[in-house]
Amino acid sequence: MKILTTVAQAQAQLHAKRRVLVPTMGALHRAHAELIRVAREHAGRNGEVAVSIFVNPLQFEPGSDFERYPRPESADEEFCRNAGVDLLFRPSVAEMYADNRSVFVDESSLANTLEGRSRPGHFRGVCTVVAKLFNILSPDAALFGEKDFQQLAIVRRMLRDLNFKIGIVAVPTVREEDGLAYSSRNQYLSVQERKQAPVLYKALCAAANAGKKSAADVVAIAREIIREAPLAAIDYVEVVDAENLQPVERVGLNSVLLLAVFFGKTRLIDNIRLG
Ligand code: PAF
């Protein structure tokens, strides 16, 4: 496995092979292993699987967990080696951002709702870093998990509107046995919080399977189940259209139920397709 830490090194690597990128912020877990596995399928035997690890300060809103975000460098490196990654790109913040940086990528429609409302500036940070990673590593395709549903929609929109010639592959959410979606932030949960966190997937499934056509009813079912967990504090539970992320009143084939819920200081997100 090749490890690159500078932009110059990465851009000097002319690659004739098909390259498939898994952008990450590290603290790699089973869901990343699944992304890497699917990346290998898409790269083919002769292609190259690249992983980037960069805890992107731009996508952490002020006062959030940038400082305490886990950075297990050598474990992540080992993880990538074991997963058969060909190229690991692991730049520093100074390498990625000039102090007087003044150009950003702003998605101005899909980013105004859900996560974007609760985390101002978050998607500007995501789009900016993803665009930079695409320019630095020139992948043919890139993989994103469906857990971050809004991120996936926004990255797709950025690709369309800025004409990036990169294929996006969406990978279904990977869950622990009790239904909790894998996330690097799960490790912040206390024992009690971790015990209660599976209520999120339980709520999503119950709401999705109740056969309700009114979005308000779907949301009410999910909220009622989440309230069973005393440590859960709901940020939002919403039914939106999967393409434009606007709220819908009636559940249709293209509807998705999304939620963000705090357990203590830890904010977890999850979603399920309806219809
Ligand atoms: O989903 C993530 O881990 C991050 O938002 C990403 C896409 C790597 C950009 O920093």
- pLDDT tens digits for range 195-233: 999 999 999 999 999 999 999 999 999 999 999 999 999
Nearest alpha carbon, ligand 1 atom 5: 126
Residues 107 and 237 in one domain: no
**Is pLDDT above 80 for 38?**
yes
- pLDDT above 90: residue 4: yes
Q: Is 52 in the pocket of ligand 1 (CB under 6 A)?
A: no
Token readout for 253 is: 């084939």
Alpha carbon of 183 to ligand 1 centroid (Å): 12
In a domain, 190, yes or no: yes
Q: What is the percent of the chain with per-residue pLDDT over 90, rounded to a whole number?
A: 96
Residue-wise pLDDT tens digits, 164-173: 999 999 999 9
In tens, the pLDDT along 119-159 reads 999 999 999 999 999 999 999 999 999 999 999 999 999 99
For a ligand 1 pocket test, name from 65, 97, 148, 166 the mutation site with the most ligand atoms within 8 angstroms of its C-beta. Answer: 148
Inter-CA distances, 169 with 35, 94, 133, 269, Å: 9, 29, 16, 20
Q: Is 130 in the pocket of ligand 1 (CB under 6 A)?
A: yes
Strand order through the sheet with 266-273: 232-241, 255-263, 266-273
More confident site: 95 or 15:
95
**Domain final position from 107, 141, 171:** 171
Tell me whether residue 178 is in a domain.
no
Q: CATH number of the domain that 63 lies in? A: 3.40.50.620
Query: Domain limits at 70?
Result: 2-171
Q: 221 C-alpha vs ligand 1 centroid, how far in Å?
A: 31
For residue 266, the domain's CATH number is: 3.30.1300.10
Mean pLDDT, all residues of the chain: 97
Over 80: is that where the pLDDT of 14 sits?
Answer: no
Contacts of 125 (CB under 8 A, 6+ apart): 56, 57, 58, 59, 60
pLDDT on residue 275: 78
Q: Determine phi and psi for 203, rounding to 5 degrees.
A: -65, -45
Q: Is 85 in the pocket of ligand 1 (CB under 6 A)?
A: no
Query: Which pLDDT score, from 0 to 100, does residue 15 have?
Result: 78
Shared domain for 192 and 163, answered yes or no, is: no
Q: Does the reported pTM lie above 0.85?
A: yes
Which pair of structure tokens corresponds to residue 22?
């898994």
CA of 126 to the centre of ligand 1 (A): 6
**137 and 188, same domain (yes or no):** no
Q: Provide the pLDDT for residue 52.
A: 99
pLDDT per position as a tens digit, 20-37: 999 999 999 999 999 999
- Ligand 1 atom showing the smallest separation from residue 155 Cα: 7
Give the model's pLDDT for residue 16.
Answer: 86
Tell me, what's the pLDDT at 13? 83
Does the beta carbon of 171 lie inside 6 Å of ligand 1?
Answer: no
Residue 179 domain-assigned (yes or no): no
Neighbours of 244 (CB within 10 A): 13
Nearest to 87 by CA among 173, 152, 19: 19
Q: Is there a contact between 50 and 67 (Cβ–Cβ < 8 Å)?
A: no
Q: Closest Cα to atom 1, ligand 1: which residue? A: 24
Which helix or strand (DSSP H or E) is residue 31 part of? helix 30-43
Under DSSP, the state recorded for 167 is: E
The confidence score (pLDDT) of residue 9 equals: 96
Q: Is 56 in the pocket of ligand 1 (CB under 6 A)?
A: yes
| Cα gap 43→150, rounded to integer Å | 25
Query: 144 C-alpha to center of ligand 1: Å?
Result: 8
Gap from CA of 212 to ligand 1 centroid (Å)? 33
Looking at the structure of the chain, the number of domains it has is 2
Q: Give the residue carrying structure tokens 């092979």.
A: 17
In the prediction, which pLDDT does 199 show? Answer: 98
Among residues 140, 171, 202, which one ends one of the domains? 171
Distance in angstroms (rounded) separating the CA atoms of residues 179 and 199: 8
Greater pLDDT, 14 or 235: 235
Which string of DSSP letters, residue by residue, matches 148-195? SHHHHHHHHHHHHHHT---EEEEEPPPB-TTSPBP-GGGGG--HHHHH
